[in-house]
Structure 1
């Protein structure tokens, strides 16, 4: 087989690159965003020499994976097609096709369940060869072990297709795919292997359960803690991948310390995460989109609050936080404390306006709160009644104007039929209530144990008329199908004024970066990989609308006061100043484009190709 032709800016033209991730065509967490957004910057350098490999889950893949037809598969000359043909000849269920994302990369998906009949032997081999135990009760571990076995077979077949002068790179993300690395090394498959941990598994558990995690990190007994949290098999897989790879990497300087103390290997490189930044030709586009989606949020806020009491939407700021429900790790606790302090400051200040704060996360719920749905339905009825009256008055006013002998505006109320007057009055009577607006939009399975709700109750942040910070806890991710917000997450972000993400444990942190990419100011922390990267690489980040709360070696109270001050300064900005800040945020977004950050991956690949 002849090497495939290279793109003009081809990188390492003698190398093939297989990038392996559990979230290829399978959106379950943040790695999906990493892989998907990096593709457009990877393809120009690698072209057809690049291939993604992941597990095949039909329900997840059907919307974003396009299989190659049989004729094309049998005539394709690249090594990945040849490897798939060889595996199929052995009876394996393996798909070759295209991931339907920007860049349309070549993608191989392998069904992990086909190896389940061999699980007993695979688990025995893992234990005897690599000291990794595997219980019989964890199906995710079974999927991971099966996929690791099939990944090893795929790499063996690709390696057989490599012609003289070519080399094979394998880049594995997270412990779920890294289980293949020790076996590839044992079999001496000729591949240069990289492993990236985006967050050590044990580190995430420890941070959730230890308020002084970073102070205690160097004293952790990893084995004892892994057993305590019942994650020993996965932790051993992660350690085996870290030690078996030729090049070991992580995503931020913060996680370097974790890797040293919890995985016992110093990372060879740090690979910061970026986004595929879609830049607009004119800055006013950002402002136009902000206005468009803010109007959608206005609709929700009117339905949610105005039945109880009204306030001036033109003097209302929309803040939000979002992410996995990790009350301490994601900084929800710090955010709530700062909001309570901000509420008190605003009440004392005499300043006009208020803040509506959205908490967007995922919690088990039984249904949307019927009261919230009813408020939305009644407001829709108010709108329809007003539109009917508007139409009737409009037609009659036009006729009256055309027939008028003077220049006076007619009495508009006289142009409304008694039916619509009565309908209007009755609709408004059913609209108004003395009940407080709910602080949560859904009925949780167990709201008595919810930390966010319990803080609101303790702090009396319950959407009283006199509260200047209003709370909306939305325990489901934003989507266009939701009857409440009815918009994409990215549209919701654009409609807000600021994102608040002062995480305690965040190996990277895409949420503030997604704000920056959409021209929305964001708060992060120096315990977030993104925040740490900003402090190291961007002078005066506040001038670019990126604010970093200091949490390293600071007490909770000190950090809460700093965050409160940031929010306080922001609410005092004029509309013109906020527009200028959004423009400054947008102009800084390019710093985090994969086109600029891909160089870190390139260096790691160069290092891996040097090592045998």
Structure 2
């Protein structure tokens, strides 16, 4: 007999990235929300930080009539919050909470969590205080709402994402024990730190001690809240099998459920709109390159890009640059290659000289100074990407068939140079490259294939492993995704693998290109939330059952 899942009546979900577009977690939550809205119909409430001060939040629309009676009570209880709708498909209810008032009593809060759960906040620095006070404020929002509008007859879940929500999950566990708790780590803080500090993560993983490495890398406080949250919640989850192994070793807690990241394809244009947007994106990228380099690029140019968070080694930015360096000297390359590094850095401003050229109708035959950079940077001389480009002599000279351009800004549609959003630019690529060393899942390759752009990734990315598992064989570029084997030490082989794949793709005829693009798109369809939401249902069921056991103990 098949056991029937116990599903929640109400879900609260919190993240630093609710109504706050920073990275991949925003994509996880914002694309999944519509599926959950269809199931729960406004019985899911997302809680995010009100970090906008006097500026309007572009992802949030306040509704003064929504939950007005509870909001009035919450304000009387000392909470400062706004209630409205998250401006994404499904338009779920969102609460933005101002966490700054809790800074005044943070030491008392930290002391209480040490006494209750042995959370070590003594070594806190950087964003720890800000994240923790948000987490605490979010939990107070959940507590207030539960006592005002719900009761023990409701099956309720509080789901927190990343270590930044840990304090709140533990608060709910103690103060509102009737609520079942789920914690999702999208990447362990200590694992990311080991990888980012150029230490071999994978070969020595089983020999690492998480607590010891946290002390060595000055990560004690983040590691402590993450570990204690994992140990105490009703259901501990992560996003891929590769990160599940990491959790078991570094946090001393096996995950209960793996929640792979899906997406909704409602942001992918259809039919003639797709064709028009692809053509517009290509025109813009070619125009920017022409203005920057003083060179004409026809539509047969092979446009390649990498993108993601600015983690130089973890995201494989270093190996991408090296691959372009090797590619420029390979005579087998059948087309000119225009390669973009779309990675937000410490951007100062868009280049005025480039903006003037883009406004001009004149044709330019000489490159601008620094012809590999679209926006000026703060502390430009110490930027790692520019440093490697310069050290390798990738100066975009006229003779080279490979031109490499660093786009160090968030592509919001208002960057001053491209003025197109990331999703409006990505579909103009012919090929995307994400050669990650540390990548628990990997939304960028999933987004690429959803836009019919074949991509290159590695088997150290959760998405890469999923793609090969789904296809049932080693994945090649004709399948829509080329998965390159990557280890702690095979940097050179990965660079060669990228180079060889780009050469192979450049030699494809039109029919082969369309076949690769079609296969990429078909693979993306297998990662829709309607297929992956079942894993969440398993987690909800487990959390609710474990909460009941906890209450009866």
Q: TM-score, normalized by length of structure 2?
A: 0.90
Report what 2:550 is aligned to: none
8 Å CA contact 1:436–1:464 kept in 2: the answer is no
3-state DSSP of counterpart to 1:249:
strand
- The equivalences for 1:385-424 within 5 A come to none
8 Å CA contact 1:11–1:46 kept in 2: the answer is no
Report what 2:179 is aligned to: 191
Match of 2:31 among 31, 37, 42: 37
Report what 2:115 is aligned to: 128
Equivalent pairs, count: 540
Question: Could you tell me how far 1:270 is from its partner in structure 2?
Answer: 0.6
Match of 2:42 among 38, 41, 48: 48
CA distance in 1, matches of 2:545, 2:495: 47
Report what 1:241 is aligned to: 229
Residue 602 (str. 1) matches residue 537 (str. 2): yes
8 Å CA contact 1:144–1:179 kept in 2: the answer is no
Report what 1:65 is aligned to: 60
Match of 1:458 among 378, 381, 391: 391
CA distance in 2, matches of 1:280, 1:66: 23
Question: Could you tell me how far 1:126 is from its partner in structure 2?
Answer: 2.1
Report what 1:527 is aligned to: 460
CA distance in 2, matches of 1:558, 1:139: 36
CA distance in 1, matches of 2:236, 2:544: 13
CA distance in 1, matches of 2:159, 2:187: 16
1:163–1:123 distance in 2 versus 1, CA, 3 Å: closer
Report what 1:96 is aligned to: 83
Report what 1:358 is aligned to: 340
| 1:188-235 deviation line (CA, Å, top 9, x unaligned) | 621111100000011111101134211122222322322333321121
- The equivalences for 1:269-308 within 5 A come to 269-278=257-266, 286-305=274-293, 307=294
CA distance in 2, matches of 1:180, 1:481: 35
8 Å CA contact 1:25–1:61 kept in 2: the answer is no
Structure 1 or 2: more helix by fraction: 1
8 Å CA contact 2:59–2:87 kept in 1: the answer is yes
1:197–1:289 distance in 2 versus 1, CA, 3 Å: same
3-state DSSP of counterpart to 2:91:
coil
The two structures, once aligned, show a CA RMSD in angstroms of 2.7
1:590–1:482 distance in 2 versus 1, CA, 3 Å: same
3-state DSSP of counterpart to 1:53:
strand
1:117–1:535 distance in 2 versus 1, CA, 3 Å: same
CA distance in 1, matches of 2:368, 2:9: 66
Report what 1:334 is aligned to: 319
Match of 1:490 among 423, 436, 441: 423
8 Å CA contact 2:348–2:377 kept in 1: the answer is yes
Question: Could you tell me how far 1:441 is from its partner in structure 2?
Answer: 2.4
CA distance in 1, matches of 2:229, 2:265: 32
CA distance in 2, matches of 1:233, 1:31: 22
Report what 1:511 is aligned to: 444
8 Å CA contact 2:63–2:84 kept in 1: the answer is yes
Report what 2:521 is aligned to: 586
1:162–1:134 distance in 2 versus 1, CA, 3 Å: same
| 1:344-368 deviation line (CA, Å, top 9, x unaligned) | 11xx23x653101001112224444
| 1:330-386 deviation line (CA, Å, top 9, x unaligned) | 1112112222222211xx23x653101001112224444455345435xx232xxxx
Report what 1:477 is aligned to: 410
1:597–1:522 distance in 2 versus 1, CA, 3 Å: same
CA distance in 2, matches of 1:125, 1:49: 31
3-state DSSP of counterpart to 1:170:
strand
8 Å CA contact 1:159–1:190 kept in 2: the answer is no
Match of 2:14 among 17, 20, 28: 20
Question: Could you tell me how far 1:121 is from its partner in structure 2?
Answer: 1.5
| 1:361-415 deviation line (CA, Å, top 9, x unaligned) | 12224444455345435xx232xxxxxxxxxxxxxxxxxxxxxxxxxxxxxxxxx
CA distance in 1, matches of 2:501, 2:281: 24
Report what 1:424 is aligned to: none
CA distance in 1, matches of 2:241, 2:377: 37
8 Å CA contact 2:459–2:483 kept in 1: the answer is yes
| 1:118-139 deviation line (CA, Å, top 9, x unaligned) | 2232122122322223359747
Report what 2:196 is aligned to: 208
* Structure 1 alignment gaps of length 5 or more: 1-9, 75-80, 383-427
| 1:133-182 deviation line (CA, Å, top 9, x unaligned) | 33597473333333333334333344444346421111111111111223
Question: Could you tell me how far 1:437 is from its partner in structure 2?
Answer: 7.1
8 Å CA contact 2:241–2:258 kept in 1: the answer is yes
Range that drifts further, 129-138 or 487-496: 129-138
1:125–1:545 distance in 2 versus 1, CA, 3 Å: same
Question: Could you tell me how far 1:61 is from its partner in structure 2?
Answer: 6.1
8 Å CA contact 1:149–1:180 kept in 2: the answer is yes
8 Å CA contact 2:10–2:155 kept in 1: the answer is yes
Q: TM-score, normalized by length of structure 1?
A: 0.82
